[in-house]
A and B are shown apart, each in its own frame.
Chain A
Amino acid sequence: MSNKDIVQPSAQKRHPLTPKGFKWYLGSALFLVVGLYILAAYQTQAFPDRVIEGLPIMFYFVVDDLWPPNWSYLPRVAMSLLETWNMALFSTTLAAIFALPMSFLAASNINQNSYFYQFIRNFLNLLRTIPEIILAVLFVALVGIGAVSGILALFVFSLGILAKLVSETIEAIDPGPVEAIRASGGNVFQVITFGVMPQILPQFASYSLYVLEINVKASVVLGFVGAGGIGIILRQQLSMFNYDNVATIIFMTFLTITIIDLISNRVRERLE
């Protein structure tokens, strides 16, 4: 008997790789999803021709209005960018300090009281559902226009993110050392400092830097509602149609964020 005889399919019964019912299921799911996309495009008027028609307008805006940037406006921009950076730095540092204890409470392998654990988890979820722009509006109303309201808004927002990320890192640690310290009579604080902290320290630093990057970008937007930083002068100059100043702001912001991201990324690569 040759090999060919073995691989010859029998005439009576064919074996599909995918069952027929599943094919129908997959097909209709695909049909539904595509349909929803079409409806979404229709509702938002997101048609490709609008982008194509808009391109020349954008081009002339950049060439006629934005160019050339007003370089004499640079000192004012630099000061505002420094404020933006300081806002991000303060809010991230505060968030890192407060997120650490929170994340232990939000890690099921450390906080073994399941009700308290669920409560903290839900609280952190709640923090993250509030957009930072809403937080900024609230804090501007509370403490007035300026960088402080921005710092508070970014702090609350990044606390939620950081505590979530760190608590997930804690839940993924090697349980061995924790078990060993519990078995030798260590209390929960000793378990944390000797069993958990050495294991999560690199990730904690890395996530804090990542949140710093996010906060620098977010604080640009927050200025639009009066929460300090570069956003305040950006809105001002936009509303006064000083497009040469706007160009300086955009260029410098782009440069600053790129440099910060670059440095932060390098450091984070080292940490991993």
Chain B
Amino acid sequence: MIEFKNVSLVYPNGHQGLKNINLKINDGEFVVVVGMSGAGKSTLIRSINRMVTPTEGELLLDDQDILSFKEKQLRKLRTEVGMIFQSYNLVKRMSVLRNVMAGRLGHTGTLRSMLGLFPQEDLQLGMSNLERVGIQEKAYVRADQLSGGQQQRVSIARVLTQQPKVILADEPVASLDPPTSHKVMKDLRRVSKEDNLTTLVNLHFIDMAQEYADRIIGLRDGEVVFDGPIDQVTDKTFEEIYGRPIKEDDLLGGDES
């Protein structure tokens, strides 16, 4: 369980990223965080793996306050919290499988990993995760040979190979076209449900959020302005979150199913 207790974050330049956040996220929930750009979506989810550090409050992951973590505990935390990025963040010149195995680094000794000596069972795990996202035949292809959707699948396989408890996805489909976006979101939701992973996804398209979320958290100016299960969410909710009427741009559309 992830618990935010009066969490605030002020950036060194004085900008307030988060204002007094109180949230409880249960194990296995698929949460979509919505809000306009600059509302603090990234800051919120990046706090959970301490890619940014809140300046006030407590952030509990399984009853441990992660805000007090130092170097070593932090690395341990990050092996348990996987992350998916908007720009995939793969090493383009490396093979797909090597990129997937990069997710295993936190579990592998420094020398072993530097020599590329991953245990065979870890390689099996990596391959089976590539299979789960449907691109096992690309394992030895260089990552830059893949399409955007395939690259994002590689990064999902990388995160699964890390065997985390939590997945954070920061605008995972913002660089993809609508049909591919839906495919990737479906894959992400499927694997996260299969492994019972707590998942937080930042999205700014409201139709996508409605389609895939169990629960929606709305942010505006660093504050939680909505938090509720998906069946309580209507178009009115989004107008409240965005603080303005819904526009065409807020919808992705293009679901082929």
Chain A interface residues (CB < 8 Å from chain B)? 174, 176-177, 179-187, 189-190, 193-195, 198-199, 201
User: Knowing that A176-B90, A190-B114 are A-B contacts, what are 20 other residue pairs whose CB atoms are under 8 Å apart, sorted by A's residue number?
Assistant: A174-B92, A179-B85, A180-B90, A180-B158, A181-B105, A182-B78, A183-B51, A184-B78, A184-B79, A184-B103, A184-B106, A184-B162, A185-B76, A185-B80, A185-B106, A185-B162, A187-B75, A189-B110, A199-B91, A201-B93
A176 CA to B91 CA, complexed, in Å: 8
A179 CA / B49 CA spacing, docked (Å): 12
Chain A residues in 8 Å Cβ range of B106 = 184-186
Q: Is the CB of A194 within 8 A of B51?
A: no
Kindly report which residue of chain A lies nearest to residue B49, judged by CB atoms: A183
B128 CB within 8 Å of chain A? no
Given known contacts A176-B87, A176-B88, A194-B113, is B94 in contact with A181 (CB within 8 Å)? no
* Among A174, A176, A189, contact of B114 (Cβ-Cβ < 8 Å): A189
- CB of A186 within 8 A of CB of B89, answer no
Q: Is B77 at the interface (CB under 8 A from chain A)?
A: yes
Which single member of A174, A181, A199, A201 contacts B102 (CB below 8 Å)?
A181
Among A176, A177, A190, which residue has its beta carbon within 8 angstroms of that of B113? Answer: A190
On whether the beta carbons of B105 and A185 are closer than 8 Å, the reply is yes
Across the interface, do B79 and A185 meet the contact criterion of CB distance under 8 Å? yes
Q: How far is the CA of A199 from the CA of B162 in the complex (A)?
A: 22
Q: Are A177 and B89 in contact (CB under 8 A)?
A: yes
Write out the residue numbers on chain A whose beta carbons fall within 8 Å of the beta carbon of B49.
183
- How many pairs, one residue from A and one from B, have CB atoms within 8 Å of each other in the complex? 80
* Least distance between A191 CB and chain B CB atoms (Å): 9
A-B contact pairs, 11 of them (CB 8 A): A176-B88, A177-B91, A180-B90, A180-B155, A183-B83, A185-B79, A185-B162, A186-B75, A187-B75, A198-B94, A199-B92
A179 to B82, CA, bound (A): 12
Residue of A nearest to B110 (CB): A189
B113 / chain A contacts, CB cutoff of 8 Å: 190, 193-194
Known: A183-B78, A184-B83, A184-B162. A198 touches B102 (CB 8 A): no
Instruction: List A contacts of B76 (CB < 8 A).
Output: 185
Nearest-neighbor residue (CB-CB) of A195 within chain B = B91
Contacts of B159 in A (CB 8 A): 184
- Assuming A180-B83, A198-B93, is B88 touching A187 (CB within 8 A)? no
Q: B residues bordering A, Cβ < 8 Å?
A: 49, 51, 75-83, 85, 87-94, 98, 102-103, 105-106, 108, 110, 113-114, 155, 158-159, 162
Cα–Cα, bound, A80→B92 (Å) = 45
| Nearest-Cβ distance from residue B171 to partner chain A, whole angstroms | 13
CA distance A135 to B2 in the complex (A): 61
Query: Most B CB atoms within 10 A — which of A182, A183, A187, A198?
Result: A183
Best-surrounded residue of A180, A181, A187, A194 (most CB of chain B within 10 A): A180
**Interface contact B79-A180, CB-CB below 8 Å:** no
Min Cβ gap B234→A in Å is 35
CA distance A186 to B103 in the complex (A): 9
CB proximity of B77 to chain A, nearest CB, Å: 7
Nearest Cβ on chain B to A22's Cβ, whole angstroms: 34
A184–B91 CB distance below 8 A: no
Shortest B23–chain A CB gap in Å is 21
Task: Quote the shortest CB–CB distance from B165 to chain A (angstroms).
Answer: 13
Within the complex, the shortest CB–CB distance from A172 to chain B, in Å, comes to: 14
Q: Which residues of B contact A180 (CB under 8 A)?
A: 83, 85, 89-90, 102, 155, 158
Name the residue on A nearest B102 (C-beta).
Answer: A194
Residue among B51, B93, B98, B102 with most chain A CB within 10 A:
B102
Check A177–B90 contact: CB distance below 8 A: yes
Chain B: minimal CB distance from A61 (Å): 53
A194 touches B85 (CB 8 A): no
Report A-chain residues with C-beta under 8 Å of the C-beta of B114.
Answer: 189-190, 193
Least distance between B53 CB and chain A CB atoms (Å): 14
In angstroms, how far is the closest chain A Cβ from the Cβ of B8? 22
Q: Say whether B78 contacts A185, CB under 8 Å.
A: yes
**Across the interface, which residues of B come within 8 angstroms of A177, CB to CB?**
89-91, 102
Which chain A residue lies CB-closest to B164? A184
Contacts of B91 in A (CB 8 A): 177, 194-195, 198-199
- The answer to whether A176 touches B110 (Cβ under 8 A) is no
Question: Distance (Å) between the CB of B191 and the closest chain A CB?
Answer: 16
Shortest Cβ distance from B84 into chain A, in angstroms?
A: 9
